Amino acid sequence: MHQQAGKPESGIHHVTLITRNVQANVDFYAGFLGLRLVKRTGGYEDAEQLHLFYGDAAGSPGTLITFLVWEDGATGRVGHGQVFEIALAIPPSSIGEWMTRCLQHGIAMQGPSREFGETVLRLKDPDGVIVKLAGVDMPAPHPWGDAGRGPARLRAVTILSEAPEETAAFITRFGYRQGPVEGNTTRMLSDTDAIDIRDGSGFVEGIPGTGTADHVAVRAANIAAIEALETQLATLNSSPTNVHDRRYFTSLYVREPAGTLLEVATDGPGFAVDEPPDTLGTTLMVPPGDQLRAQDLRVMLPQFAMPGQPRTPRRELPFVHRFFTPDDPDGSTMVLLHGTGGTEADLMPLAHRISPHATLLGVRGRAHEEGNARWFRRLGPTSFDQADIRSEAEAFAAFVEGAVAGYGLDPARMTFMGLSNGANFAASVMGLQPGHIAKAILLRPMMVLEDPPATDLAGTEVLMIAGARDPFSNFGRPLAQWLEGSGAMLDLHTIGAGHELSQEDETITRDWLRIRQGGRHG
């Protein structure tokens, strides 16, 4: 396609989707499709969310597919106001090879079919996102892998719109012009690619979540172009706009009239600003504003292996769980139980600081209260569903047995650490399912069992840390009395803190664990 001399190219910069399984995502996009992982970073909106970027060798605009990682997150609903298909350009001569490759890898496909005069194979990625391979000659700016077969760049994205004419008119301001129409889909053409707008009238509205797209970004030449666009959109009284410095590009967010989130992103400075070009995507980066907690973030963000690298198999167990494996593991494991509203990663930074060589196993509670994860249902501030505690304790015991067998963990070197609701649950498991927890760290716990069982906890070691200013501290005394009365070796500390954790918690837990667990702790 021809363009005026010196005029910046229009077209797609990147498309961002949401995945619930980072390992399966990497295996599909870097392994099966053969794209280059050019950047892995904590999210710029939320540094505790992993963000992956795939593209050509340099991560060129127009080749980029990015993913927000909501590990084991809720599935979204595809509907209008969303991108719901992406298309990658592959050499037309490679269609047959890709059909064979799909069969070899057990990936379901539809086609080949013809769309806008191009031969297309339709696949689904592990999250169910439709990925089309379109046979069209569109060379990558910086080829990666097998240039004779592999995807070169984004050919198109498809937006489902309940107001397709308004969406199309809005898209024209980004260098797109109307092209051919097939059925209920209008193709908008730029200098380099296409945005297909499908009439979604009467269809359901999209709901954000895994397996859906967050946004599509189009290209801007520079920051001045972003600022000019922001002024222009303000005079049009469009949806609110937000300009962001994403380090690798500067961008503006806006919603088109039918609700699809669009981003306008500069071509530069690019992904080589913090990594050499030949090692792009090999180091986990942290946003500049989060450098003070960089190490904590690297522990919290989900780990994965690149294709061909060894990886821990994922076992199907009763609770959502995630591992963090240190560079030099010592064979011990810390099992982590979050507080109300937490996640399986919340306690990982603390656990890593107190036991740097331990493998961490974060677990997510299955009860929910107004969207917040818990370990059992709550009837009131200090009243709890006793039947639910018992059934969840039984399920957790099965989880522990499955984790020991499935991941080869050493029960004698497992320590369970819980905070608040997680600590309450761990103590309940000790009473209701004896023998599954032999070493426990309970932070800000209380007794939640109305009729604590007569359990023999001889040989069980427990560290319990209460906060003197914790409004629930008095409710911890019955738990301490029950633990001691059951024969547990209890080490009880009350510190000058509230319900929140403090540096003193870290010091006490590190010292306690060093004595009892042995090995290396620094």
Considering the domain architecture, whether residues 103 and 189 belong to the same structural domain is answered as: yes
pTM of the model: 0.95
290 within some domain: no
6 token code pair: 């010196």
State the Cα–Cα distance between residues 145 and 57, nearest whole angstrom. Answer: 8
292 within some domain: no
Q: What pLDDT is stored for residue 5 in this prediction?
A: 40
State the Cα–Cα distance between residues 396 and 319, nearest whole angstrom. Answer: 8
Considering the domain architecture, whether residues 253 and 366 belong to the same structural domain is answered as: no
Let me know how long the chain is.
522
> Position of tokens 């209260």?
369
Strand 213-220 and strand 261-269: pairing?
parallel
3 within some domain: no
State the Cα–Cα distance between residues 65 and 166, nearest whole angstrom. Answer: 26
Q: What pLDDT is stored for residue 168 in this prediction?
A: 97
State the Cα–Cα distance between residues 258 and 270, nearest whole angstrom. Answer: 31
Q: What pLDDT is stored for residue 3 in this prediction?
A: 40
State the Cα–Cα distance between residues 217 and 287, nearest whole angstrom. Answer: 20
Considering the domain architecture, whether residues 332 and 275 belong to the same structural domain is answered as: no
Considering the domain architecture, whether residues 204 and 330 belong to the same structural domain is answered as: no
Identify the CATH number of the domain in which residue 417 sits. 3.40.50.1820
Identify the CATH number of the domain in which residue 208 sits. 3.10.180.10
Q: What pLDDT is stored for residue 242 in this prediction?
A: 79
Closest of 423, 367, 427 to residue 392, by C-alpha:
367
Considering the domain architecture, whether residues 188 and 100 belong to the same structural domain is answered as: yes
pLDDT digit string (tens) for 421-453? Answer: 999 999 999 999 999 999 999 999 999 999 999
Residues of the chain with pLDDT below 50 are 1-6, 519-521
Q: What pLDDT is stored for residue 518 in this prediction?
A: 61
Considering the domain architecture, whether residues 401 and 497 belong to the same structural domain is answered as: yes
Considering the domain architecture, whether residues 259 and 394 belong to the same structural domain is answered as: no
Considering the domain architecture, whether residues 366 and 486 belong to the same structural domain is answered as: yes
Q: What pLDDT is stored for residue 238 in this prediction?
A: 67
CB atoms within 10 A of CB 63: 30
Considering the domain architecture, whether residues 280 and 320 belong to the same structural domain is answered as: no
Is 127 catalytic? The answer is no
Catalytic-labelled residue, pool 60, 420, 428, 486: 420
Considering the domain architecture, whether residues 470 and 332 belong to the same structural domain is answered as: yes
- How many independent structural domains does the chain possess? 2
Q: Which domain holds residue 250?
A: 12-285
Is 278 catalytic? The answer is no
Look at residues 285, 308, 336 and tell me which one is the last residue of a structural domain: 285
pLDDT digit string (tens) for 90-110? Answer: 999 999 999 999 999 999 999
Is 420 catalytic? The answer is yes
Give whole-number Cα distances, 89 to 3, 63, 188, 284, in Å. 21, 10, 16, 29
130 within some domain: yes
511 within some domain: yes
Q: What pLDDT is stored for residue 234 in this prediction?
A: 83
Catalytic-labelled residue, pool 94, 385, 499, 502: 499
Which helix (H) or strand (E) segment holds residue 304: the answer is none
225 within some domain: yes
Q: Burial, 137: exposed, middle or buried (Cβ in 10 Å; 0-12, 13-18, 19+)? A: exposed
312 token code pair: 């821990």
Catalytic-labelled residue, pool 191, 199, 470, 505: 470
Q: What pLDDT is stored for residue 516 in this prediction?
A: 83
Considering the domain architecture, whether residues 99 and 165 belong to the same structural domain is answered as: yes
Considering the domain architecture, whether residues 151 and 231 belong to the same structural domain is answered as: yes
310 within some domain: no
299 within some domain: no
Bridge partners of residue 453, in order along the sequence = none
